[in-house]
Amino acid sequence: MKVVAKVLCVLGVLSGPAFGQDVSPEAATGRGQTFAVEAQKFMVAVANPLASKAGYKALQDGGNAIDAMVVAQMVLGLVEPQSSGLGGGAFLVYHNAKLGKITTYDGREKAPGHATPDLFLKPDGTPLKFFKAVVGGRAVGVPGTLMLMYKTHLRYGKLSWKRVLAPAIALAESGFSVSPRLSKLISNDKDRLATYPDTKAYFFDASGQPLVAGHVLKNPQYAQTLRLIAAQGPAVFYQGEIATDIVKAVQGAKNNPGLLNLNDLKSYTVVERPPVCVLYRTYRVCGMGPPSSGALTVGQILGILENFDMSKRTPKTIHLMTEASRLAFADRGRYMADSDFVDLPATGLLDVQYLKDRAALIDPSTAALNVQSGTPPWAEAKEQAMDNAIEFPSTSHLSIVDGDGNAVSLTTTIENGFGSRVMARGFLLNNELTDFSFVPEVNGLPVANRLQAGKRPRSSMSPTIVYGPDGKLKFVLGSPGGSRIIGYVAKTLVAVIDWKMNVAEALALPHFVDRFGKVDLESGPDQQDLATALRSMGHTVNVRDLNSGLHIIAVQPHGLVGAADPRREGLVLGD
């Protein structure tokens, strides 16, 4: 196992020019890898070392990328429960090497059949406060992660279904050591986690204190849940005894019960969708389309930047990226939602001339005072209001390339950290319905991302696969981070394509994200110079921690090179 074939230590990577080759203070704790990893045939890059090792072992044992994905996801649901799991949803972008084909699978949660657009409005018509909507059963959507794992494994997997669930079952029974990151997150959320007996019993010790790092945490309920799923498949989860317990937990959540019922679970389906691709320079960048806004918004940012010289990393090019992001987010807020329910100009949003026209709105030296959505080419043009949905940064991502050249880019979530704080059968349930706009219409105009029965909420998850100028697989990447995911992925792509950075440098590069008119700039020793430069161009700048969780694998002529975000505890392993 070639884990440290090429070391790029923190000081070595980050001693470059000003404006951003310093990791954040959080990154400097060394929780994640700070070097690139080389491999010959296969590689996994996952958000937790235990999940990485389990996925790596599946590849060692003759499994493929899909097998490793299922193994890693099931372990992540145990060791990183705040971010993803059986109670959530996921998007998969999959490169099938044998067919030379890319496709995507939508395992996003769905709104219950009895949900109405006013679910998050108070009696006076004003929206609920975010956490009033989150904690409890009200915001729980139909989970899709398990069905996505099962359907794709049934189609592509090589190892048995029982084999890919076995590592998580064993770890749940024997227990795992609570990481410093998980301990900190439990402590930060202790008041909400104490709301419900099951959640409190699991995340607190016998004296009622939040679990500390190093505590060995066992989850026999999760082990039994996976045993049932291993033996009976997803039917027991979506129609059987597990489904019954999920519905009881949601509808019985005190103070904030939900609408999810057995029919909602029984009728859930995973949808295979065509990828959304855009040409950037000579690279084809592909990702997940609606109900994700990820590939469309990343594609718009890149399509706008295509009209500028981005070859050097300077305050000017960072200014251009933030302005391109603002323009793309304006379109995102007005147009993007679940395309099974809402007509949207997907082709028009990526139209080359339209993006050229949008790029012409950018002043290369001055931030725009006001940014509006555009009017993309659209035969079915409709008036729609801007969205006000909040999307919080608790998600996970894994990137995998197997020995046959198949590639998986999976972004997976339960939405807010620890989701709804409601547990069933050893796993947390999502609060995904809060990704809908709380307000269904504005001044009589409908919001595209309004809540509707059976609809999938818009997401920013951006699992991405990139093909090089030769048409061959080049990069596999993605990140958690709420709506900032889009900026993290776009910046990483510019870093590896335009700025010619290696993957470790690209991930360690401090973030700069502008979604709605304010630049969030990751704190770091040299960042004040960049902040000053951006402010001189008229930007409002907020210097703060930005905790991404990027995982990237690059396919090189000599093999694979991967990196995990040093801000978290991810691990890259290769043969």
Q: Span 391-403, mean pLDDT? A: 88
Over the chain, what is the mean pLDDT? 92
**Mean pLDDT computed over 527-541:** 95
Tokens linked to 357:
């026209």
Band of the pLDDT at 211, cuts 50, 70, 90?
Answer: very high
How much is the pLDDT for 431?
97
pLDDT tens string 39-72 = 999 999 999 999 999 999 999 999 999 999 999 9
Q: Is pLDDT at 497 greater than 80 in this prediction?
A: yes
User: What is the tens place of the pLDDT at every residue in 132-159?
Assistant: 999 999 999 999 999 999 999 999 999 9
Q: What is the pLDDT of residue 35?
A: 83
Integer Cα distance of 432 and 115 in angstroms: 13
Instruction: Give 36's pLDDT tier (boundaries 50, 70, 90).
Output: very high
474 phi, psi to nearest 5 deg: -125, -50
Give the SS3 label for residue 557. coil
pLDDT of 15 reads: 26
Decide if pLDDT at 385 tops 80.
no
What confidence score (pLDDT) does residue 526 get?
78
Closest Cα to residue 229, out of 308, 277, 161, 287? Answer: 161
Q: Is the pLDDT of residue 9 over 50?
A: no
Which positions ≥6 away from 532 have C-beta within 8 Å?
A: none
Residue 387 banded pLDDT, cuts 50, 70, 90: confident
**Active-site hit among 317, 395, 413, 434:** 395
Assessment of whether the complete model's pTM goes beyond 0.95: no
Question: What is the average per-residue pLDDT within 235-257?
Answer: 97
Is pLDDT at 8 greater than 50 in this prediction? no
Mean local confidence (pLDDT), 477-492: 97
The answer to whether the beta carbons of residues 89 and 108 sit under 8 Å apart is yes
Average pLDDT over residues 78-98: 97
| pLDDT bracket for residue 93 (50, 70, 90) | very high
Average pLDDT over residues 400-421: 97
Q: What's the first-to-final CA gap in the chain, in angstroms? A: 5
At 380 the pLDDT is 75
Sign of CA dihedral 288, 271, 223, 244: positive
Residues 292 and 400: their CA atoms lie apart, in Å, by 21
Question: At residue 365, does pLDDT exceed 60?
Answer: yes
pLDDT surpassing 70 at residue 24? no
Does residue 4 surpass a pLDDT of 70? Answer: no
pLDDT at residue 25 tops 70: no
Which tens digits make up the pLDDT trace of 278-309? 999 999 999 999 999 999 999 999 999 999 99
Residue of 488, 558, 400, 489 whose CA lies nearest to 6: 558
Give the pLDDT confidence score for residue 388 in this predicted structure. Answer: 65
Residue 90 has pLDDT above 90, yes or no: yes
pLDDT at 7 over 80: no
Q: Does residue 395 carry a catalytic annotation?
A: yes
Dist CA 260 CA 250 (whole Å): 7
Q: Beta strands 571-574 and 43-46: pairing type?
A: antiparallel
Residue given tokens 């991404």 in the structure block? 548
pLDDT score of 390: 65
The b/e string for 347-383 (b: 16+ C-beta within 10 A; e otherwise) is ebbbbeebbeebbeebeeeebeeebebbebebeeeee
Percent of the chain past pLDDT 90, that is, above it, reads: 90
Give dist(CA 11, CA 451) in Å, integer: 48
Distance separating alpha carbons of residues 523 and 31, to the nearest angstrom: 18
The stretch 511-515 carries a mean pLDDT of 96
Distances (CA, A) of 365 to 19, 248, 306, 374, 539: 17, 57, 17, 22, 11
DSSP character at residue 478: E
Q: Is residue 495 within 8 Å of residue 501, measured between CB atoms?
A: yes
Lookup: tokens for 157: 């997997």
Over residues 265-278, the mean pLDDT reads 98
